[in-house]
Structure 1
Amino acid sequence: MKIGIIREGKNPPDKRVPFTPDQLKALQEEYKGKLSFQVQSSSSRAFSDQEFIDAGIQVFEDISDSDVLFGVKEVPVEELIEGKTYFFFSHTIKKQKNNRKLLQAVLHKNIRLIDYETLKDSDGNRVVAFGRWAGIIGAYNAFWTYGKKTGLFDLKRANDCVNLMDLHHELSKVQLPPVKIVLTGSGRVGNGALEILKSLNIREVSIHDFLHLYFEEAVFVKLGSADYYRRKSDGAFDKEEFYAFPERYESHFQKFAEAGEMLIVGGYWDADAPRLFEMKDIASEDFQLSVIADISCDVGGAIPTTVSSSTIREPVYDIDRQTGKKLPAFGSQTSISVMAIDNLPCELPREASHEFGLQLTKWVIPALMEENAGILERATIARDGDLTIEFIYLTDFVSEHE
């Protein structure tokens, strides 16, 4: 089996790779005679062509003779090769309209599409993800944003840090007043953000104390869905019901928006679930949030102030509290500053790629050597021109036209 690592075609190109040069070298030695690897030439990766060559991996401009192709972000429609098996983040399983044409092309070209987001073990847990790195860098950017907005300290950008150790060293510059911080999410993203909060020695407090007490130091509260969603009928919360029927619930997040000054969003959001708050709420004098780091970056989703994604080059924009309109970053002290970069791990691409490659090495490569491996079958969105049973719910989505 010949495996190819494609050049990232989305613009601006992603610097991450599915596997590092050393990981491909180790795999090629372990599966000698069974697997071979080749890499498509690219000038934008965090790892140079020469690093792959030095590791004994062949680099070509054309790798269309590969049986299986690995990328990171969405592949441009015109670059999809008919009849191949692809692994990448397609961002289609939530019916994202901007990728409808991509999924239509996958079906038209008889491509087998396996989305990293759908790779799960037998218990339904995701096995490959960049979430921890999104959480780490997203939380770092939250404090970078707070420093810029308040003028209290000045951090260098995460993508200017050499590595994670350098990023943690940079955090030593943070000097916080008694600010209250809200963190949502308990998965990879939330736990990655938690690493930064702990690195800063910010004390975690209970919900009751967060809402009702004054502190002489910075504190944070970590929230799960049960803490800010309530069933409409009786105010209770049932986890299984919430995930199955989120429309039966309403948000009770407002009290946290009135107590906290910073919000770091790392929780998963279902499109049928209510938003944490509404745009009209931010005009209230009681709404205290002034910095929002939306790591999940669901545009038009849980956080209404996330009116668009931001970029590594321009990481922050402001939202006017009265009009809800987007403003240049830090143009007004009274506006809300929003950090919503949608490719956060790209700011530390080498380390993020290394961890991702370890996950692929553990879960995906062995499965490729099996016939009809369950983990790959469950994760296959499309094959032979049709959606698979698991993803048949996307039929209407791909049948629509812009």
Structure 2
Amino acid sequence: MKPIKLGIIREGKIPRDKRVPFTPEQCQQLRELFPHVTIVVQPSDWRCYTNAEYEAAGIALQEDVSDCDILMGIKEVPKSELIPGKTYLFFSHTIKKQPHNRGLLQHILREKIRLVDYECLVDRNGNRIIGFGRYAGIVGAYNGIMGYGLKYGLFNLKPAHLCHDKKELFRELRKAHMSNLKIVITGGGRVANGACETMGAINLRKVTPYEFLNYTFREPVYVQLHSEDYYVRKDGGTFIGSDFHKHPEDFRSTFSDERSFASVTDLLIHCTYWDPKADILFTLDRMKQPDFRISVIADVTCDINGSIPSTTRATTIDDKFMGYDPVSERETEPFSKEAITVMAIDNLPCELPRDASDGFGKHLLERVMPSLLGDDNDGVVERATIAGNGELTSRFEYLKDYVAGA
């Protein structure tokens, strides 16, 4: 096969991301699996795996990566660092027409760069095959429990980003001596399952939606809610999942109905994808009602002004929590008596960068690299290619008006 040189680039976007597409050990595996591939790493002082760890694994460090055929990173690459004519893999955050990244995609097209977006790596049925969702859920749930402890002075957990890895994070959770609080996790994908993994690490009992709504408990419990648990058809018909995903506007949320989940939940860990056409989980007015019981929200989805109306901005890893006063509808101190404590960090996997990178790299090796470095018979890479040779690919032609500035 034709020799290929692959470079792992230094993360240039600020704030700096510590994650990597491949760990040092995975770079070794990559060379063994694909002997025609040479791999180099651009030096970095901030990535979670050090330069020395790559060198110890026999991976060369190389500042100038202009001789590489394929360049792989994590976050958006600054325009000034993009090399014309190369193939890049990273999260571009352009497919939803994000205004702040329009210039990036315009530059990629001008420089005839081939852009393969991790977010667009899907199977033939459109299901994503790679991502950091599991670790967003793990950390988001941890932060939710941390916020609850801080709000009520029950315990003080070490911030996730100061834990070396997931093992230390789960050991830290043993400090969380909780009363009989009731926790909701929304969603059924990787993110929600990651949150459930955190619940399992402290042996919290999982109950059914019926039990959660109707029973009281002497111990902390949680429930995992799927769309059918809190959405109903507006016309009174039967809930069908495929209909909900195609036409969410035909359904309404029952989450905050009288004597429903909003009335019995203490901590909400929101992990489900939200379509802007769908009904929001609850309204600002509903949050004012005396029986609205939720006092801590871990909004893992972090859709600004989306399904959780109190998420008016993203919080940060260093400043995780903000307060929302439902009466004044204003932001306030995160742990004040009148506040609902909100965590809405949009880069949660960065709090456990070594574990998150390891999991991401495993999926890359198994599900993507054979297609990227060999024959793309299943169209995995083709489907994820947004641009090439100065043009949008057919799958992403809907971005033409976005690129044009419309």
Residue of structure 1 in register with 2:146 after alignment: 144
Residue of structure 2 in register with 1:205 after alignment: 207
Q: Which amino acid in 2 is paired with 1:243? A: H
- Structure 2 counterpart of 1:233, from 232, 235, 254: 235
Residue of structure 1 in register with 2:301 after alignment: 296
Residue of structure 1 in register with 2:24 after alignment: 21
Residue of structure 1 in register with 2:372 after alignment: 368
CA contact (8 A) 2:233 2:239 kept: yes
- Structure 2 counterpart of 1:344, from 342, 345, 348: 348
State how 1:273-284 maps to structure 2 within 5 Å. 273-284=278-289
Residue of structure 2 in register with 1:316 after alignment: 321
Residue of structure 1 in register with 2:395 after alignment: 390
Residue of structure 2 in register with 1:129 after alignment: 131
Measured in 2, the distance between the counterparts of 1:129 and 1:351 equals 13
- Structure 1 counterpart of 2:384, from 379, 383, 388: 379
What is the Cα deviation at residue 314 of structure 1? 0.5
CA contact (8 A) 2:31 2:39 kept: yes
Residue of structure 1 in register with 2:82 after alignment: 80
Q: Which amino acid in 1 is paired with 2:29? A: A
What is the Cα deviation at residue 235 of structure 1? 5.1
State how 1:172-211 maps to structure 2 within 5 Å. 172-211=174-213
Q: Which amino acid in 2 is paired with 1:366? A: P
Three-state SS of the structure 1 residue aligned to 2:89 is: strand
Measured in 1, the distance between the counterparts of 2:252 and 2:398 equals 25
CA contact (8 A) 2:333 2:339 kept: no
TM-score by length of 1: 0.95
TM-score by length of 2: 0.94
Measured in 1, the distance between the counterparts of 2:214 and 2:364 equals 46
Q: Could you tell which deviates more after superposition, 198-207 or 262-271?
A: 198-207
Measured in 2, the distance between the counterparts of 1:97 and 1:149 equals 36
What is the Cα deviation at residue 372 of structure 1? 4.4
- Structure 2 counterpart of 1:43, from 42, 45, 53: 45
Measured in 1, the distance between the counterparts of 2:381 and 2:118 equals 10
CA contact (8 A) 2:323 2:331 kept: yes
Three-state SS of the structure 1 residue aligned to 2:146 is: helix
What is the Cα deviation at residue 99 of structure 1? 2.0
Measured in 2, the distance between the counterparts of 1:281 and 1:9 equals 42
Residues 235 and 322 of structure 1: is their aligned pair in 2 closer, same or farther, counting only changes over 3 Å? Answer: farther
Measured in 1, the distance between the counterparts of 2:32 and 2:265 equals 53
Three-state SS of the structure 1 residue aligned to 2:71 is: strand
Residues 103 and 278 of structure 1: is their aligned pair in 2 closer, same or farther, counting only changes over 3 Å? Answer: farther
Q: Could you tell which deviates more after superposition, 60-69 or 95-104?
A: 95-104
Extract unaligned runs of 5+ from structure 2.
Answer: none
Q: Which amino acid in 1 is paired with 2:31? A: Q
What is the Cα deviation at residue 293 of structure 1? 0.5
Q: Which amino acid in 2 is paired with 1:5? A: I
Question: CA offsets per residue over residues 100-131 of structure 1, 9 Å max, x none?
Answer: 22222222222211111111223432221111
Question: CA offsets per residue over residues 215-251 of structure 1, 9 Å max, x none?
Answer: 2221212111111122222253221111112222222
Question: CA offsets per residue over residues 177-203 of structure 1, 9 Å max, x none?
Answer: 111111101111111100111222222
Residues 120 and 228 of structure 1: is their aligned pair in 2 closer, same or farther, counting only changes over 3 Å? Answer: same
Matched, 1:4 2:7: yes
Three-state SS of the structure 2 residue aligned to 1:139 is: helix
What is the Cα deviation at residue 398 of structure 1? 2.3
Extract unaligned runs of 5+ from structure 1.
Answer: none
Measured in 1, the distance between the counterparts of 2:85 and 2:40 equals 18
What is the Cα deviation at residue 307 of structure 1? 1.1
Residue of structure 2 in register with 1:214 after alignment: 216
Residue of structure 2 in register with 1:153 after alignment: 155
Measured in 2, the distance between the counterparts of 1:392 and 1:252 equals 37
Question: CA offsets per residue over residues 81-115 of structure 1, 9 Å max, x none?
Answer: 22211111112222222222222222222221111
Question: CA offsets per residue over residues 109-159 of structure 1, 9 Å max, x none?
Answer: 222111111112234322211111111111111111111111011111112
Q: Which amino acid in 1 is paired with 2:346? A: D
- Structure 1 counterpart of 2:357, from 353, 358, 362: 353
Measured in 2, the distance between the counterparts of 1:398 and 1:100 equals 6
Measured in 1, the distance between the counterparts of 2:60 and 2:82 equals 21
CA contact (8 A) 2:232 2:252 kept: yes
Matched, 1:65 2:70: no
Q: Could you tell which deviates more after superposition, 260-269 or 87-96?
A: 87-96
Residue of structure 2 in register with 1:271 after alignment: 276
Three-state SS of the structure 2 residue aligned to 1:117 is: helix
